[in-house]
A and B are shown apart, each in its own frame.
Chain A
């Protein structure tokens, strides 16, 4: 299905959601294009599995559509709400499946058609990071992903996780320390600094 580009880059998510609540289907198309990638990227980093991330993404967006009539513009950012819903869905899914060991995040074999070696190395590093993230406790993983992949500020993360900024900093410190320890054995493969 061919989707149009986001034609309203200057219109906020707030305004678009209000339009959707009033019945404008065009607002749904723009929000779908704009927000689905954000949710998908976040869900994948929390779950480490594409199929499960797709399920969570569709579920989170469905909740957005249903919540739209009750949305209070100006009280919070739509993405903040989505990050929180996505994380809750991911954590619920992880606890339901009682996943104590990381998922098998299968490395895609290098494909010569994928481009230069630099791209292949980027993908290898990304996959290695994901395997390491999968070993972290849920809240540490969530904090690290929000800060260092989604690039949100500590106060924004505190709002999403409903904790203090100090608690966010603590989660980040512990999470990164654990990542370094897990990745220590693969430093040379990944070209990490000594």
Chain B
């Protein structure tokens, strides 16, 4: 067979080639290893940056997330106003409210609407 004859003629050369490999040498080995170490360092730096980025995003959400949960700033403003009104009423309640509260707390009958109206400057005639 042609192939066998070719193999016979080449086998000594192939054997010589296997016996004389090109040694990479220390400088090339060092460069390859430096590349590996640089790749490891780059990966660690990249992972650290991603961690900081996630942390920052979380902190930002903590400051504004509740506003989004309420439906935005208009809704948050309305809630704030209602809260302030409630505090004001509690601190400086009109006289009529005070009487109603006392009536209710003492187990009295239904509060008198007219008494309620009176505390707000509305006279009975207007009612």
Q: A33-B29, A44-B22, A183-B13 are in contact. List 10 more A-B contacts (CB 8 A).
A: A36-B32, A41-B21, A54-B28, A57-B32, A65-B35, A65-B39, A125-B17, A173-B6, A179-B6, A193-B8
A49 to chain B, nearest CB (A): 10
Closest A residue to B31 by beta carbon equals A58
CA distance A178 to B31 in the complex (A): 37
* A contacts, CB < 8 Å to B: 1-3, 20, 23, 25, 28-29, 31-33, 36-37, 40-41, 44-45, 50, 53-54, 57-58, 61-62, 65-66, 68-69, 121-123, 125-126, 128-130, 148-149, 151, 172-173, 176-177, 179-180, 183, 190-193
A40 and B22 within 8 A (CB) = yes
Q: How extensive is the interface on chain B, given as a class?
A: 20 to 34
Other-chain contact of B16, A62, A125, A172, A183 (Cβ < 8 Å): A125
A90 to chain B, nearest CB (A): 13
Residue numbers in B under 8 Å from A121 (CB-CB):
16
B33 and A122 within 8 A (CB) = no
Residue numbers in A under 8 Å from B8 (CB-CB):
193
B33 and A125 within 8 A (CB) = no
B89 to chain A, nearest CB (A): 63
CA distance A122 to B18 in the complex (A): 10
B73-113, CB under 8 A of A: which get 1 and which 0?
00000000000000000000000000000000000000000
B30 and A193 within 8 A (CB) = no
B126 at the interface (CB under 8 A from A): no
Q: A29-B33, A148-B10 are in contact. Are A40 and B18 (CB under 8 A)?
A: no
Residue numbers in B under 8 Å from A31 (CB-CB):
36
B40 and A151 within 8 A (CB) = no
B13 and A129 within 8 A (CB) = yes
A23 and B32 within 8 A (CB) = no
Residue numbers in A under 8 Å from B20 (CB-CB):
122-123, 126
B24 at the interface (CB under 8 A from A): yes
B2 and A36 within 8 A (CB) = no
Closest A residue to B3 by beta carbon equals A173
CA distance A148 to B19 in the complex (A): 12
Q: A37-B23, A126-B20 are in contact. Are A61 and B35 (CB under 8 A)?
A: yes
B61 at the interface (CB under 8 A from A): no
A36 and B29 within 8 A (CB) = yes
B14 at the interface (CB under 8 A from A): yes
A155 to chain B, nearest CB (A): 18
Residue numbers in B under 8 Å from A25 (CB-CB):
36-37, 40
B2 and A66 within 8 A (CB) = no
Other-chain contact of A126, B9, B16, B44 (Cβ < 8 Å): B16
B13 and A54 within 8 A (CB) = no
CA distance A149 to B2 in the complex (A): 20
A23 and B44 within 8 A (CB) = yes
